[in-house]
Amino acid sequence: MSSNNGRGDSGGLVGVQYEILPLLPVRNIVVYPFMILPLFVGRESSIEAVKQSLDVHNRLIVLAGQKDMFIESPAPEEIYNFGTLAMIMRERTLPDGRVKILIQGLSKVYISEFLRLTNSNFFQVKVKRVEGPAGESDAVAVDSLMRTARERLEKIISVGKVLSADILMVLEDIQDPGRLSDLIASNLNLKVDEGQELLETLAPIERLQFYCKIRCKTMRNHPYQRDNYWAKKNQYCVKKFGR
């Protein structure tokens, strides 16, 4: 019942048993590992999935994006197969009947099957956790990309992007390229298709390259591009990552 629309499906699956967990489809957002954010849940099926997570699955739930945010009851083929395993840290029912939850992303997962229990409005999904390669062969290239990614984010903040400067202090302490790329992506207002592509890209070095490339496009369209500094950075981006 699932479609293979992910990148790196083979070779990235962790050697653990599949898990069956409730699914919470999300709209207009991509959730990454280590990301903490509030979600407002209003659909009856989604509220049931949250309740199932709290009552049966030790607060674990799978978050996966809808391909069309305007569909109220998405079918399996209308949901991305790559998502994020998350934990519900807090839950509160609001006066209007919606449920507010605070979630923390734990790891990437690949959905291999959609299941629906009798008399249930929500999907349960059979998932397996996915990881990137155990290590990158070119440590020098990885270090260079990590440095470039940090510099790119610093410049984005310096030209008025609404981000906390504290994020730079956090990034400086992160030495794992996969976690660095996920944290950067979670703090930027990426388009959903860009964010989903980053989520589905398992190799950390490829994620950093992809991030730097889309940031280069942003710089080329920025009014500060007229400045010589930005012009030089743009030339560097085109040479290193392409147009």
Q: Are 30 and 105 in contact (CB under 8 A)?
A: no
Give the domain range for residue 215.
139-241
- Domain identity same for 79 and 150: no
Judge whether 11 lies within some domain: no
Judge whether 152 lies within some domain: yes
Q: What percent of the chain has pLDDT over 70?
A: 75
pTM: 0.78
Assign residue 177 the CATH number of its domain: 1.20.58.1480
- The DSSP-derived string for 22-66 is EEEEESS----TT-EEEEEE-SHHHHHHHHHHHHHSTTEEEEEEB
- Domain identity same for 107 and 166: no
**What residues have CB less than 8 Å from 189, skipping those under 6 apart?**
none
Distance CA 85, CA 103 (A): 10
Assign residue 83 the CATH number of its domain: 2.30.130.40
- Domain identity same for 124 and 30: yes
Main-chain phi, psi angles of 117, to 5 degrees: -75, 155
Please report which residue ranges of 57-202 form alpha helices under DSSP H: 139-158, 166-172, 177-186, 192-200
Cβ neighbours of 30 (radius 10 Å): 26
Residues of the chain scoring pLDDT < 70: 1-17, 134-137, 157-165, 214-243
- Domain identity same for 190 and 96: no
- Domain identity same for 39 and 122: yes
Check residue 239 and give its pLDDT. Answer: 53
User: pLDDT of 105-144, one tens digit each?
Assistant: 999 999 999 999 888 899 999 999 998 776 556 788 888 8
Judge whether 121 lies within some domain: yes
- Domain identity same for 73 and 162: no
Cβ neighbours of 19 (radius 10 Å): 16
DSSP secondary-structure letter at 202?
A: -
> How many structural domains comprise the chain?
2
Judge whether 54 lies within some domain: yes
